[in-house]
Amino acid sequence: MTLKWIGRRIIKLPNFLFACLMLLSLTAYGSFIESTLGTAVVNDATASYFNPAALVLLKNPQFIPQETFAHFHTQFTGRSTLLATNTSESGRSSSNTGVHSPSFYLGVPATSNIVVGLAIVSNAANRNAEENSILRYVQANNTIQDYDVVPALALKINEFLSIGAGVNFSYAKFNAQPIIGFPGSNIADSQSSNKSDGSGLGFNAGFLFKASPTTLLGFNYRSMTTYGLSGTSIYEGNPRVVSNNYHFKLRTPARSVFSINHFFTDKLGLISTIQYIQWSAITQVHVYGVANLLGTQPTILNGSIPYYLRDTWLATLGSHYRITPKWVLRLASTFSQSAGNPHYQIDTGDSIVVGASMGYEINKMITIDGSYAHVLIQNENIAIAGPRYIIQGVNKGSREAVSLKLTFNL
């Protein structure tokens, strides 16, 4: 992690802020079909979150509960050198992140031209870094909880065009537990705890265009959300230091999404989505009131952490096939660029997601869908030359996600 001076005080924080930023931006990512396959043209109540304009496709009130579980695994192989003591450690370091994302969606036609919607989306992520690893000072254990409530409204302009918008009310909680130490010295490692929570506000807006009886075009723009987070930072060393003025602002990137859905026959359709994510607008995070070490002296610090992120593209191509009147199969593949810079963050490379979903209509009122996604992640060559650490090696990762969804037509 690159560090900057504020006055005469320098802060060293692990890269938990970067991890939190990544996770917060992926709200409902694990539901592969909605969040990547046809994001801007989903044809059920999940449109309340993904593109409110598509709510006009509902013919009756609809309620959808959904559960998503995902697992990330990363493994770094290489060398870490602490410049203060010129001590190097070589080997492997792994971390595991579990994500649980329950969500609820509601869509209700108010008139023949107006549909109201509501999305409640939650993400709970817990990252466990390997103890005593060579990256124990730069990769922290953390727990993240994010809750989004999105009321939405869709308006049908005419038989071809609809527009929609939603307001995103967010609340997030963080608990980062970095390890602080000086390998090669007589100073024992110490643990810190940084707990914070806060709210954020954003919006999304889009349109749905019916180009022909068999072709739908959808676009959605989701704004940047800024979270004001505050809490308590505790350094569990000797002496113990407590800061009750720990606070910072965290931003999630804006994204633009465009989808096309075309039916070749009544049974077979092709769908594609392109997303552009504006990571470069997030330049740095200023952190205040951190209980930490200045040299070997426990104290309370302020700091600034630049990110050097790049804007990314995500592209998906897939199809859906109605096997029988009750069964539908969806297959898709997604290419996703990595936003990270391997000269500043321990990140993985670009990835390809392959996924499938199967839906079954139990009766006219209830449909069940299950999806699975596997991510093929490119290895990333890490070469960080910071003022505190030099880290060189290869980082690789894997990800799996499953989702179960129930649709109730009321």
Specify the pLDDT at position 12: 41
Give CA–CA dist 56/156, Å, rounded: 6
**Most confident of the ranges 75-79, 127-131, 139-143:** 75-79
Q: Which residue from 98, 33, 39, 37 is spatially nearest to 66, judged by alpha carbons?
A: 33
> Nearest CA to 27 among 105, 123, 99?
123
Quote the pLDDT of residue 188. 67
C-alpha dist (Å) from residue 198 to 189, 201, 225: 30, 11, 12
Cα distance between residue 369 and residue 361, in whole Å? 9
**Which band of pLDDT confidence, cut at 50, 70 and 90, is reported for residue 311?**
very high
Query: Which amino acid is it at 129?
Result: A
| pLDDT, tens digit (0-9, with 9 covering 90-100), for 376-397 | 899 999 998 877 788 899 999 9
Residue range 174-227, pLDDT digits in tens: 888 877 766 655 666 777 888 999 999 999 999 999 999 999 999 999 999 889
Distance CA 261, CA 271 (A): 4
Which residue type occupies 289?
A: G
Task: Report the first-to-last Cα separation within the chain, whole angstroms.
Answer: 52
Is the pLDDT at 37 greater than 50? The verdict is yes
Is the pLDDT at 102 greater than 70, yes or no?
yes
pLDDT surpassing 60 at residue 29 = no
- pLDDT tens, residue by residue, 236-288: 877 888 999 999 888 888 999 999 999 999 999 999 999 999 988 888 888 88
Burial class from Cβ neighbours inside 10 Å (0-12, 13-18, 19+) for residue 233 reads buried
pTM: 0.89
Is the pLDDT score of 299 beyond 90?
no
Rounded Cα distance between 176 and 196, Å, is 9
